[in-house]
Structure 1
Amino acid sequence: MELFAQGLVAIMQPGTLILMIAGTAIGILFGALPGLTATMAVALFLPVTYGMKPAMGLAVLIALWIGATSGGLIAAILLKIPGTPSSVATCFDGHPMQEKGEGAKALGVGIVFSFLGTMFSLIALVFIAPPLAKVALSFGPVEYFAIAIFSLMLIVSLSTDSMLKGIFSGLVGFVFATVGIAPVDAVLRYTFGTVELTSGFNTLCVLIGLFAISEVIKTAESSKLEGKAEIAQVTRIKGFGFTMKEFMSQKWNFLISALIGTGIGILPGIGGGTSNLVAYMVVKKSSKYPEKFGTGIIDGIVASEVSNNASIGGALIPLMTLGIPGDAVTALLLGGFMIHGIAPGPMLFVNYGPLVYTVFAAVFVSTLLMLVLEFAGIRIFVKLLSIPNYILLPIVFVLCVVGAFGLSSRIFDVWSILLFGAVGYYFVKFKIPQAPFIIGFVLGPMAETNFRRGLMMTDDSFLGFFESPIAAVFMGLTLVIMLWTIYGEVRKKQSILRSGD
């Protein structure tokens, strides 16, 4: 509690608090505007935090993330367009409520339960992360290699319908990560005599290009450029928009959805885009009136918004304790730590204890700001939905270029974001998942470095990797997941062939 209080004091400094208010508001806009996402918001503003102190910079990024994750419910309820992938299930019951004249109630339910979902995940983060970090302090190269391989396999198997596409995406990400100086022996790889490639590709440039530039290109190609001609109206929300009886009726729904969201958030590479759909289906199947789902009831909104916001704290757990990003946004946060010379992992709790609890405090304060700003500015956010994308996207593109150049004042970084923007665009075109790419880019070097160190410790014997109980368990789980995924792929192909016959 003493460290958490110190973190709150750091966050409540006037300069930091003002930037967090701005970050939360901008995040809500990114979440509410279709085509812009939490990932893009954090990627776009990551270079801005370069000159800030670590606590301030990370607090701003967390405010953007929390604001954008919750902001997606505005477009989902009013326009039936999920502002972010995390709000897809919110459309199912949110928009029918809007059509029935209960839009204000739907917004009130969504905002309040977004707040409660994030708070639940914060409690889980505070209680799970420190003990897990203590356990992780006993990990060596062998254990870290096993965890990295397990995480990569889990992402491949769960983040896409096609295992082959997932493997391809992860391998491409790993290949790009090998450019530059090799770990351990410092051999130059794939630089082709180019000085700029000696240090490899900047992680921030890869992230900005893959998620922000590719989204700009994809949206520019589509018919979304025309903008939205009709904007839904919102009546004044009285109180929170719902009664205490309705609130209490959702207690089990809240608990189930919060546990699902936090659990899925902990799994690498999945996040709120999956948790909201899983929670919605679980709550629907366990409901006494499943036939009402999709017709406009608050149960569906609660399930979606609690789970996607609960994924926030869940995704921070593997990032802060093991240095493994839980989803695309935490991969960007990993970049935020790195630009300040801080490596997430178990030693983070030992060497940067006050900073850890400052991050916890930032989640707490950002969640409160999200609740206040969404209720106070709901009419403003709704009006901003009318901004056409042909005005919005060029501004985003210019900011991406300026941000990339500002990292190291190199035009090479600008070319890098364009390169990875093209890669991300073609991934979308051919329905290749982006998550395995970026996790492969981040975790690939970690796996390679620890694999080589592990071989040095075991006298070049791979069997030594199975002598550690922790490593053996993760290697065994990796093998089981791989075989199960292959089995699922074979059954799916057989089913397609039978249906064709």
Structure 2
Amino acid sequence: MMESILLGWQTVFHPVYFMMVVLGVLIGILFGVVPGLSGVTAISLLIPFTYAMEPLNGFLIMIAIYAASIYGGSIAAILFNIPGDAPAAMTALDGYPLARKGQAGRALGMAAISSLVGGSISVIAITFLAPQAAKIALSFGPPEYFALGLLGLTVVASIDANHQLKAFVSVFLGLFLATVGLDVITGVARYTFNSTILMSGIDFVPAIIGLFALSEVFLRLHKKALRQKMPGGGKAVPRFAMPTKEDVANVKNTWLRSSVIGTVIGFLPGAGATIAAFVGYGAAVSVSKDKESYGKGNIDGVAGPEAANNAAVGGAMVPLLTLGIPGGAVTAVILSAFLIHGLQPGPLLFEQNPEIVYTLFSGMFVANILMTLVVLVAIRYLVKVLDVPYEYLAMAIILLSLVGSFAINNRIGDVWIMFFFGLIGYMLKRYHFSLAAVVLGIVLGQIIETGLRQGLMITQGSILGFFTRPGSGIILTLTILALFFPLLKRLMTKREIPQD
């Protein structure tokens, strides 16, 4: 095994292969920054070009795009409150308030380093644990995914300590919106109002673009604040916008915790970076002593989801390479590239082509380092965008929102969905409801519903069967503990206060 790992590292630094990684990083960041032009779009467009490439060249550039595009979405989320994809929605919660306080460079630098830490830890883990992790992933069925979805929902309890009731109302709104479209089991149309646009359900990207980006423009228009500048755009940013020693000391535990969470969630087919970001953010809030500061510009709120969603990228390679099971849209496209070149991912791939597997792992590690270096150098130029008066930025945001929403499926209906969610987001912001909780409900709703209904079929209608299965039982127990931990902590604190 060690020989294969060393061969992988030696191969990735061959000039041609190294250039493929560099090119993939640049493409990934570019496609990640623009809403709608995600990593899956870039890799899908690249597939025809891989026909003429040596297989390893094609795989390395796709792996690098995958890693870099996940981080790229956080750049627009921090600067403009436009999450490039669903995972970046959690980064926007604290990243955008930091930018509005004149600390955009600090937020972007923390996001870059957190991505490096999460991505690196996950690559190291999968290099040595991939076959064993695949066995764990195989044991997951509908009950386990239902339990995982519920665990993700516990984030709601910590999203906004000052408006928890409104956060729960928001998540139920998101869960309701997740039911729109064709029933995944019976095929019955639900809440579509005979509209073909809604038959396929509500796509995440138009929804989060409307909720976060367009709603901010509407809110500023309402407050007549379009002519204001974003603060801090012209602030001097160092050549390398590295986090301070104080920031590193504050987030080092979050880095480790979120990296482990992201890697483990990445192992699970269908879970992916989105759930990892939500759980990573929720875990950071739940153990913090300053919960009220989250959502208002806490640097820990940037580190948690960024480390988790980039760690999930590495984890997602485990079911793909060891079982031939894609964990999401990006890995499904990468799987098709393997098949095009006559390679079947699975246990035999590790035995017959170990040089490809371990070169890909090494390529992911190198891609994370290059991505971080590129972003840290570019931050001083990125924040200059904030010098532009918001009235001009608003037009650019609306244009990007239109392009991003349309580019997903080339459907004008998604643009209307984006405008609809922009209005919903505007109303929710005005009355202090939680946008993150709505997104959480939309993302996890289908996973929870499908897992529950299919799980009840497996357990013959017994909800207790979910607790007797080891995987779902452990996760459900953790969910219950996570829900009641804040209450127990408050009770214990009250007992410790001496009575006069």
User: Normalized against structure 1, the TM-score is what?
Assistant: 0.64
SS in 2 for 1:185: coil
Aligned ranges 1:102-501 → 2 under 5 Å: 117-128=114-125, 130=130, 131-152=132-153, 154-161=154-161, 162-222=163-223, 223=225, 225-227=227-229, 232=234, 234=236, 255-256=252-253, 258-259=255-256, 262=259, 269=278, 271=280, 275=284, 310-314=307-311, 316=313, 361-362=363-364, 364-372=366-374, 374-375=376-377, 377=378, 380-381=381-382, 383-484=384-485
Supply the distance in 1 between the matched residues of 2:391 and 2:471 (Cα, whole angstroms). Answer: 52
CA 1:160–1:13 in structure 2 vs 1: closer, same or farther (change >3 Å)?
Answer: same
CA contact (8 A) 1:63 1:362 kept: no
Q: How far did 1:415 drift?
A: 0.8
CA distance in structure 2 between the partners assigned to 1:175 and 1:139 by the alignment: 26
Call closer, same or farther: CA 1:142–1:25 in 2, change over 3 Å. Answer: closer
| Structure 1 counterpart SS, 2:35 | helix
Shift in Å at residue 203 of structure 1?
2.9
By how many angstroms is 1:433 displaced? 1.9
Counterpart residue identity of residue 374, structure 1: L
**CA 1:360–1:439 in 2, change beyond 3 Å: closer, same or farther?**
farther
What residue in structure 2 maps to residue 20 of structure 1? 25
How far apart in 1 are the matches of 2:112 and 2:184? Answer: 43
Q: 2:37 aligned with 1:45, yes or no?
A: yes
Q: Is the Cα–Cα contact under 8 Å of residues 163 and 489 in structure 1 kept in the other structure?
A: no
CA distance in 2, matches of 1:203, 1:415: 13
1:80-100 deviation line (CA, Å, top 9, x unaligned): xxx965558989x998xxxxx
Q: Please report how far the alpha carbon of residue 310 of structure 1 lies from its aligned counterpart in structure 2 after TM superposition.
A: 3.5
Question: What is the DSSP-based 3-state SS (H/G/I as helix, E as strand, rest coil) of the residue aligned with 1:436?
Answer: helix
* Aligned-pair CA distance for 1:43: 3.3
C-alpha change, 1:378 and 1:276, in structure 2 (3 Å) is farther
**Are residues 262 and 397 of structure 1, via their aligned partners in 2, closer, same or farther at CA, if it must alter by over 3 Å?**
same
Deviation at 1:268, TM superposition (A): 5.3
Note the C-alpha offset of 1:14: 6.2
Q: 2:169, 2:490 → 1: CA distance?
A: 15
Cα distance, 1:471 vs. partner?
1.8
CA gap 1:302/1:371 in 2 versus in 1, 3 angstroms: farther
* Equivalent-residue separation in structure 2 for 1:124 and 1:380 (angstroms): 29
Amino acid at match of 1:43: P
Amino acid at match of 1:137: L
Distance, in Å, in 2 between the alignment partners of 1:10 and 1:207 is: 40
Look up the equivalent residue of 2:142 and give its one-letter code.
P
How far is the alpha carbon of 1:138 from its aligned partner? Answer: 0.8
Query: Do the aligned partners of residues 127 and 8 (structure 1) sit closer, same or farther apart at CA in structure 2, a change above 3 Å counting?
Result: same
For residues 255-276 of structure 1, the C-alpha deviation after alignment (integer angstroms, 9 at most, x for no partner) is 5463255367676525569959
User: 2:29·2:68 contact (CA, 8 Å) conserved in 1?
Assistant: yes
Shift of 1:170: 1.9
What is the DSSP-based 3-state SS (H/G/I as helix, E as strand, rest coil) of the residue aligned with 1:227?
coil
Give the equivalent residue in structure 2 for 1:297.
none
Answer yes or no: is the 8 Å Cα contact 1:50–1:407 preserved in 2.
no
Match of 2:68 in 1: 63
Q: Is the 8 A contact 1:405 1:413 kept in 2?
A: yes
1:329-360 alpha-carbon deviations (Å, 9 max, x no partner)? xxxx9666689899xxxx99889998998598
Distance change in 2, residues 1:3/1:454 (3 Å)? farther
> Unaligned 5+ residue runs, structure 2?
48-58, 81-90, 266-275, 292-297, 321-326, 337-343, 351-355, 495-500
Equivalent residues, number: 423
* Pair 444,15 (structure 1): closer, same or farther in 2 beyond 3 Å: same
Q: Quickly say closer, same or farther: Cα 1:468–1:274, change in 2 above 3 A.
A: closer
CA distance in structure 2 between the partners assigned to 1:446 and 1:111 by the alignment = 31
> After superposition, what is the alpha-carbon deviation per residue over 1:169-194, rounded to whole angstroms, capped at 9, x for unaligned?
22211211211211222222222222
**What is the distance in 2 between the residues matched to 1:425 and 1:352?**
50
Distance in 2 separating the partners of 1:307 and 1:363: 20
Counterpart contact for 1:160–1:433, Cα < 8 Å: yes
Which 5+ residue runs of structure 1 have no aligned equivalent?
A: 28-40, 76-82, 96-105, 283-300, 324-332, 495-501
Q: Distance in 1 between matches of 2:466 and 2:70?
A: 37
Distance 1:307 1:168, change over 3 A: closer
1:407 and 1:189 mapped to 2: Cα distance?
23
Q: 1:209-239, CA deviations, whole angstroms, 9 ceiling, x for partnerless residues? A: 22332233334445363225986464985xx
Task: Kindly provide the CA deviation profile for residues 99-153 of structure 1, in whole angstroms up to 9, marking residues without a partner as x.
Answer: xxxxxxx98x99887665443322321244645443121122222222222222x
The alignment's C-alpha RMSD in Å is 5.3
Whether the 8 Å CA contact 2:113–2:372 is kept in 1: the answer is no
Contact 2:114-2:307 at 8 Å conserved across structures: yes
Contact 2:74/2:92 (<8 A) preserved: yes
Contact 1:269/1:435, CA 8 A, preserved across alignment: no
Percent identical pairs in the alignment equals 24
Secondary structure of 1:200's counterpart equals coil
CA distance in 1, matches of 2:248, 2:234: 30
